Structure 1
């Protein structure tokens, strides 16, 4: 789990407007935070509304709790892959790629009762949906944003903002101590990038290890920082449930990502 604050890193950065929104989407609270000169503008409101619309649209396709979602209807045999949203085919391909890259430590085939495995891309959809939603916010001139989806974060800014130095709008992100959830183990400062954490502190043994065929219940967490939330989330899960093979795959296949195990 990660938390974040909006305190600026450098005192030379001039004060800017700040505004936050929060909605319950995909079964979790998703907050959108903006910093910039026009956070109260109609354009900002439209961009935020567009971001939430993207998230809700992905939930309609992929939710495993909605009886009418594409994924559930596909699993029940009520529709075909060709009749589903094109995102479903993309999710299948992304899951297969993730399984190969992580050395088998990540999968979209998860237990669905009675010992059966079923297509369930939950482990990648949240990050993917946030990456897509952020495109709406990138259009806001002079504005930096942070999307917090149940503790996983994506941070970015309009192209006219510098990534460092005066004028940059960095965000400080706190990484929670998995053994004491009232404490912050460490912090990072980002102007662009994603932070995803996987572990058992918040939800117990919910992460499935496809190699052993069991859920992992050991304490601790793994946090991954990198360019996109979808891959940060995939790698955080793979590194938490996987062993040496997953760690070797990470070093080989994810040069733009960093991991921290707690």
Structure 2
């Protein structure tokens, strides 16, 4: 998926069972990468984007992702747009969605205590092996080895979209130019795919994204602006 992925299984289960659960998670993520990678010419999403694959021929997962992206386009007033670059790229939803599905599968399999981190998109459930709520560090947007916030909780989906690694690369679909004003956006909600898309949309909006996030029901957020201000929801689960 073009990013580092880590999994912490905190349930007191036999080692072979933990290994089996981990293999299931990484097997699923490899499947998602093969299907949705925009870097692989033979991936399903690239073939569909080039018109080589009809919607009726697409997998159930691709059809689901396209439907969700269309819904998110409407929910964000067009600022989350899988076609913002001129070609199909649903990555701003897929990474969070894939991790959310993996977490749901772990829960259904009896692994109620886990933390899955897919390149800064984090889904936690239950408690860590210490018995305490999980602690989630939000990367400092100027200092690579530092955090600017630490969140804590037992059931959180935390997605962060930022410009600190690739520069201002998230396009404002209306103007066709990168959104400006927000260095980092973190969204906390019940579903990691949706939180991922909302964080991407807010970066595309620029400073206007702050007011939009304030009005977003069922979600909390933290924002670091290009000029170094840190703003966040009053009920953000901070340590």
The total of aligned residue pairs comes to 223
Bigger fraction of residues in strand: 1
Higher alpha-carbon Rg: 1
Gap regions ≥5 residues in structure 2 = 225-239
Q: Displacement, 1:180?
A: 2.5
Change (3 A) 1:183 1:72: same
Q: Does 1:120 align with 2:83?
A: no
TM-score (normalised: structure 1): 0.77
CA contact (8 A) 2:46 2:88 kept: no
CA-to-aligned-CA distance 1:144-183 (integer Å, 9 cap, x gap): 11111112211113xxx7xxxxx95411111122122332
Among 142, 148, 152, the alignment partner of 2:121 is: 152
Q: Does 1:67 align with 2:45?
A: no
Change (3 A) 1:97 1:244: farther
**Distance in 2 of aligned mates of 1:247 and 1:220:** 12
Gap regions ≥5 residues in structure 1 = 1-25, 112-116, 162-166
Q: Does 1:99 align with 2:73?
A: yes
RMSD of aligned C-alpha atoms? 2.3
Q: Does 1:224 align with 2:193?
A: no
**Distance in 2 of aligned mates of 1:107 and 1:90:** 15
**Distance in 2 of aligned mates of 1:97 and 1:76:** 22
**Distance in 2 of aligned mates of 1:77 and 1:260:** 39
Change (3 A) 1:33 1:156: same
1:56 maps to which residue? 30
Change (3 A) 1:246 1:103: farther
TM-score (normalised: structure 2): 0.84
